[in-house]
Chain A
Amino acid sequence: FSSVVLKDLKYADSHEWVKIDGNKATFGITDHAQDHLGDVVYVELPDVGHSVSQGKSFGAVESVKATSDINSPVSGKVVEVNEELTESPGLVNSSPYEQGWIIKVELSDAGEAEKLMDSDKYSKFCEEEDAKH
């Protein structure tokens, strides 16, 4: 088994993905992250208008086994929150890259994306990380 990694996204080493479209970005956690976490029962969401910083926590995702911070892959201001996750946190498991998106932000520094991994690097990163366990 290997987790799904999409080509047109960027990835953080704390297992969040980001899709950038102009000066807007969409965030979520990766398929690899949700697989390790197990069934998600709760997603702690930030408020619209909240500022997020690259590498800093802006929320948390909770399964019956663990709670993980969600770190922001890039900096910006929250413009939209996936309220669907309040009622259906399992979307993070069933559709981590689509219906399970977590927040949308207005970017403050487009250059930050260059610090992230592309899909190939991220796949290798996951393989190496799993090999250590």
Chain B
Amino acid sequence: ISVDALKPSDTFPRRHNSATPDEQAQMANYCGFDNLNTLIDSTVPKSIRLDSMKFSGIFDEGLTESQMIEHMSDLASKNKVFKSFIGMGYYNTHVPPVILRNIMENPAWYTQYTPYQAEISQGRLESLLNYQTVITDLTGLPMSNASLLDEGTAAAEAMAMCNNILKGKKKTFVIASNCHPQTIDVCKTRADGFDLKVVTVDIKDVDYSSGDVCGVLVQYPGTEGEVLDYGEFVKNAHANGVKVVMATDLLALTMLKPPGEFGADIVVGSGQRFGVPMGYGGPHAAFLATSQEYKRMMPGRIIGVSVDSSGKQALRMAMQTREQHIRRDKATSNICTAQALLANMTAMYAVYHGPEGLKSIAQRVHGLAGVFALGLKKLGTAQVQDLPFFDTVKVTCSDATAIFDVAAKKEINLRLVDSNTITVAFDETTTLDDVDKLFEVFASGKPVQFTAESLAPEFNNAIPSSLTRESPYLTHPIFNMYHTEHELLRYIHKLQNKDLSLCHSMIPLGSCTMKLNATTEMMPVTWPSFTNMHPFAPVEQAQGYQEMFTNLGELLCTITGFDSFSLQPNAGAAGEYAGLMVIRAYHMSRGDHHRNVCIIPVSAHGTNPASAAMCGMKIVAVGTDAKGNINIEELRNAAEANKDNLAALMVTYPSTHGVYEEGIDEICNIIHENGGQVYMDGANMNAQVGLTSPGFIGADVCHLNLHKTFCIPHGGGGPGMGPIGVKQHLAPFLPSHPVIPTGGIPEPEQTSPLGTISAAPWGSALILPISYTYIAMMGSGGLTDASKIAILNANYMAKRLESHYPVLFRGVNGTVAHEFIIDLRGFKNTAGIEPEDVAKRLMDYGFHGPTMSWPVPGTLMIEPTESESKAELDRFCDALISIREEISQIEKGNADPNNNVLKGAPHPPSLLMADTWKKPYSREYAAFPAPWLRSSKFWPTTGRVDNVYGDRNLVCTLQPANEEQAAAAVSA
């Protein structure tokens, strides 16, 4: 028997890279090449080609799946999860197992894409609408978005909104010192780019006399637990023309007067404690709620109610023209993908517990805090703050550090505010026994003469009646029907069945890299040693995480050719912003304050101009040549014309046209010669790994979309992670954090951090195991093969389709990179068919459409990824070829240009099985245009959704129940 035959049976690369060696050769031949490597040699420019990529240590060869699980178990064992009373916006929670397994661990939920294609997304659109309803009901403000990244950046978005509401005429933003420190720092960092001045003062010292204040931010309850009456505060702010932002806590709002009733203009917060693990910082769904008056200045995606082609209610993402890829440098925010999966979890938690269940949890949390406060007064060893509180008790004592240390010995984490102050925050997972242990900690060795249980009858409520919530919330039947596990399970699956995901078919969205999120990669993210860690737990308790960060940082440095990585940015857009802020800080450090010009090719990613605008940069656009490549002469002219002020170039490579531009190294040189730095957008990194690298090409900083190339699932619109890699000279400026300092991995010799980018020190740390395991299991060879096969798959599809649709851009040897664009513009003239018609008709074939009308209007961008099998590639091509034939029927006059199978798409069962059918084509043709649909048909649940109706009639919360729901609620 050969040695090869005795090697482990659970190697991973062959499970991820779908094409077999035979298929690789077959597809390369089909494209006109002898083999895969000659195709790659003809595609990747020689000037930037790496000989090979090698990892150090055990990772180079790649771990098997079982070795990977063992490795992660070892890391997990190095995390010491103490009982957390730290609070500060992060609380442990009981994730209902029915939600954990059926949403967080369910690929049918986590492999969905952002719901642009509303007809095959009605399930998560409903769940996200539930989320918006939770937020609006609890905050008392009528509009909410369907998530932001974290509470700190949500507050920064609110600050930017205040600036925009007052049209940039007032340049000071006041932050009360009772806000969480991470929130304050994120806002300060963000304010720099908007030329806003942040003033942090005690709430009683807030002063508007300068007349320059656009907004004020307060925390409710405060970071140290106090619940203040903001009624007069808000009136005074409004009297001075100042907008009020409240950062708040959802669980508290079930018991406290809602911010909307104080007159708050904007309310932000996090949904974390509604059923989402702390996860050492995230991901969690943050929110921003406001009035309809500010709807068009509101960041983030919003779900709206509309109608479909038959007049039936249907949901969609509303006001999409606010998004950055349309607004570009006029965008008021760069937020894009957010935290849809976590918003779904939070919504389901609210659905499952219902209004009474949530209030019971809140009362219990409040009760435990109250019993603790009462017990401390009896002990007499410390002073308890007198102000009303919800869940956090502020304690002053002579030696806070000593108490903190005693608690640590009992595996309890408290918040050490200063040498005399501790806060103790209670949550859903706290028990009476925990309170007894706290009494022992604070007793300082004295015997405790009582128990929490014995004190309970003495405590009633610490919230004054004037601050008690009176208004009802979550009255809609959806929050009152699904309180048994069977009911919630069926509700989850009812919604799931309406949504297309990678469980059904490939999702060939150009630039989105919708690839396999392997089961082994997804396993550690739900292990308690990873989920239950508070982001501000002492670093020595999180050595498993820290070791993973170190390993991942070094692996990413090897992959990118950079010297140091920050893991703090928790979305692609956050990474773009962080990357530009690093460049800005670098220039400032050299005294080059005038360097504020950012050159951006028109082929850049949609969020790039928005990110540059957020850094206060002046954008200079440069065009492309006839082949879609950056016009190098135009770029050189722009760089030389701005050489005294040039800060950065933002470039995507390969370009968003799916082409390895030959002159990329020359472009980098031009920028450097004129004093600028090169930021590379890592969205197309899937075509670089192992073949070249941003650092090798000449970039200085690059963000990585770990939710694209590195396998974090898209979650229906997030979570994601956007860490940034930098060359050595930029490493000192990587972001840090006010509570737990962070910086580059590996650590640079000097640090001069640009500020804080995310609320948590390492962003959404809980999902880093996904990318880490992917890289570690693939090894350097597997990753390089992944890039090659991604390119092969794209070229194979382009070849199969080129005789049916024009392929818009190619490289110098006629090949494409990992994605390509097909041009549908001619069909508008010949058949009246638009990309939207093709995308909707693809639904009838069981597919999600490719990226539509971007970067070129009237086109589709297709990115297959390496994890799709040849059979699936062929199936998708067959669908597009069949649709091309359907278009031909219109062109030949055999089908009505206004009433044809494409204009009528998609065809839901309700339309097909209606008593009357008046279409000039058969029902069978509408529903079963391809043979594979006989064995497995994914049915859209609505006809084409009316975007115009939805944007003209903006409704963003659950509507009054229909009769069926109302009847079900009565019987429940």
A residues lining the B interface (CB < 8 Å): 38-39, 41-42, 44, 62-67, 69, 89-90, 133
* Most chain A beta carbons < 10 A, residue from B326, B330, B948: B948
Distance in angstroms between the alpha carbons of A39 and B296 in the assembled complex: 18
* Most chain A beta carbons < 10 A, residue from B321, B326, B327, B947: B321
Q: Are A133 and B952 in contact (CB under 8 A)?
A: no
Q: Are B825 and A42 in contact (CB under 8 A)?
A: no
Q: Are A44 and B296 in contact (CB under 8 A)?
A: yes
B residues less than 8 Å from A65 (CB atoms):
321, 853
Q: Are A67 and B951 in contact (CB under 8 A)?
A: no
Q: Are A133 and B825 in contact (CB under 8 A)?
A: yes
Known: A64-B320, A66-B321. A41 touches B952 (CB 8 A): yes
Q: Are B948 and A41 in contact (CB under 8 A)?
A: yes
Q: Are B948 and A39 in contact (CB under 8 A)?
A: yes
Q: Are A64 and B825 in contact (CB under 8 A)?
A: no
Q: Are B951 and A41 in contact (CB under 8 A)?
A: yes
A residues less than 8 Å from B853 (CB atoms):
65
Q: Which of B326, B327, B330, B951 contacts A42 (CB 8 A)?
A: B951
| Secondary structure dominating the interface of B | helix
Q: Are B321 and A62 in contact (CB under 8 A)?
A: yes
B residues less than 8 Å from A66 (CB atoms):
321, 326
Distance in angstroms between the alpha carbons of A89 and B948 in the assembled complex: 11
A residues less than 8 Å from B330 (CB atoms):
67, 69
B interface residue count range (under 10 / 10 to 19 / 20 to 34 / 35 or more): 10 to 19
Distance in angstroms between the alpha carbons of A62 and B322 in the assembled complex: 9
Q: Are B321 and A67 in contact (CB under 8 A)?
A: yes
Distance in angstroms between the alpha carbons of A90 and B319 in the assembled complex: 15
Distance in angstroms between the alpha carbons of A42 and B326 in the assembled complex: 15
25 contacts between A and B (CB under 8 A): A38-B948, A39-B948, A41-B951, A42-B296, A42-B951, A42-B952, A44-B296, A62-B321, A62-B951, A63-B321, A63-B948, A64-B320, A64-B321, A64-B947, A64-B948, A64-B950, A64-B951, A65-B321, A66-B321, A67-B321, A67-B322, A67-B326, A67-B327, A69-B330, A90-B952
Distance in angstroms between the alpha carbons of A133 and B859 in the assembled complex: 13
What are the interface flags for B312-355 relative to A under an 8 Å C-beta threshold, 1 for contact and 0 otherwise?
00000001111000110010000000000000000000000000
Distance in angstroms between the alpha carbons of A90 and B949 in the assembled complex: 11
A residues less than 8 Å from B952 (CB atoms):
41-42, 89-90
A residues less than 8 Å from B947 (CB atoms):
64
Distance in angstroms between the alpha carbons of A66 and B320 in the assembled complex: 9
B residues less than 8 Å from A38 (CB atoms):
948
Q: What is the distance, in angstroms, from A100's C-beta to the closest C-beta of chain B?
A: 14
Q: What is the distance, in angstroms, from B856's C-beta to the closest C-beta of chain A?
A: 11
* Most chain B beta carbons < 10 A, residue from A38, A39, A65, A66: A65
B residues less than 8 Å from A44 (CB atoms):
296
B residues less than 8 Å from A42 (CB atoms):
296, 951-952
What are the interface flags for B139-163 relative to A under an 8 Å C-beta threshold, 1 for contact and 0 otherwise?
0000000000000000000000000
B residues less than 8 Å from A67 (CB atoms):
321-322, 326-327, 330
Q: What is the distance, in angstroms, from B302's C-beta to the closest C-beta of chain A?
A: 13
Q: What is the distance, in angstroms, from B109's C-beta to the closest C-beta of chain A?
A: 27
Q: What is the distance, in angstroms, from A18's C-beta to the closest C-beta of chain B?
A: 24
A residues less than 8 Å from B825 (CB atoms):
133
A62, closest chain B residue (CB): B321
Distance in angstroms between the alpha carbons of A90 and B327 in the assembled complex: 21
B323, closest chain A residue (CB): A67
What are the interface flags for B817-855 relative to A under an 8 Å C-beta threshold, 1 for contact and 0 otherwise?
000000001000000000000000000000000000100
Distance in angstroms between the alpha carbons of A114 and B319 in the assembled complex: 38
Distance in angstroms between the alpha carbons of A67 and B328 in the assembled complex: 10
B825, closest chain A residue (CB): A133
A41, closest chain B residue (CB): B951
B residues less than 8 Å from A41 (CB atoms):
948, 951-952
* Most chain A beta carbons < 10 A, residue from B319, B327, B952: B952
B952, closest chain A residue (CB): A41
What are the interface flags for B585-603 relative to A under an 8 Å C-beta threshold, 1 for contact and 0 otherwise?
0000000000000000000
Q: What is the distance, in angstroms, from B953's C-beta to the closest C-beta of chain A?
A: 9
B858, closest chain A residue (CB): A133
A residues less than 8 Å from B321 (CB atoms):
62-67
Q: What is the distance, in angstroms, from B658's C-beta to the closest C-beta of chain A?
A: 21
Q: Closest 6 A-B residue pairs measured CB to CB? A: A41-B951, A64-B947, A39-B948, A67-B321, A41-B952, A62-B321
Distance in angstroms between the alpha carbons of A57 and B950 in the assembled complex: 27
B residues less than 8 Å from A90 (CB atoms):
952
Q: What is the distance, in angstroms, from A90's C-beta to the closest C-beta of chain B?
A: 7
Q: What is the distance, in angstroms, from B29's C-beta to the closest C-beta of chain A?
A: 38
Q: What is the distance, in angstroms, from B676's C-beta to the closest C-beta of chain A?
A: 28
B residues less than 8 Å from A64 (CB atoms):
320-321, 947-948, 950-951
Distance in angstroms between the alpha carbons of A66 and B319 in the assembled complex: 10
B residues less than 8 Å from A63 (CB atoms):
321, 948
Q: What is the distance, in angstroms, from B718's C-beta to the closest C-beta of chain A?
A: 23
B331, closest chain A residue (CB): A67
A residues less than 8 Å from B950 (CB atoms):
64
A residues less than 8 Å from B320 (CB atoms):
64
B828, closest chain A residue (CB): A133
Distance in angstroms between the alpha carbons of A38 and B834 in the assembled complex: 13
Distance in angstroms between the alpha carbons of A42 and B947 in the assembled complex: 13
Q: What is the distance, in angstroms, from B417's C-beta to the closest C-beta of chain A?
A: 46
What are the interface flags for B286-328 relative to A under an 8 Å C-beta threshold, 1 for contact and 0 otherwise?
0000000000100000000000000000000001111000110
What are the interface flags for B927-959 relative to A under an 8 Å C-beta threshold, 1 for contact and 0 otherwise?
000000000000000000001101110000000
Given contact pairs A38-B948, A41-B951, a sample of 17 additional A-B residue pairs in the complex whose CB atoms are under 8 Å apart: A42-B951, A42-B952, A44-B296, A62-B951, A63-B321, A63-B948, A64-B947, A64-B948, A64-B950, A64-B951, A65-B853, A66-B321, A67-B322, A67-B326, A67-B327, A67-B330, A90-B952
What are the interface flags for B763-799 relative to A under an 8 Å C-beta threshold, 1 for contact and 0 otherwise?
0000000000000000000000000000000000000
Q: What is the distance, in angstroms, from A69's C-beta to the closest C-beta of chain B?
A: 8
Q: What is the distance, in angstroms, from B625's C-beta to the closest C-beta of chain A?
A: 16
B residues less than 8 Å from A133 (CB atoms):
825
- Within 110-139 of B, Cβ neighbours of A (below 8 Å) are at none
B316, closest chain A residue (CB): A64
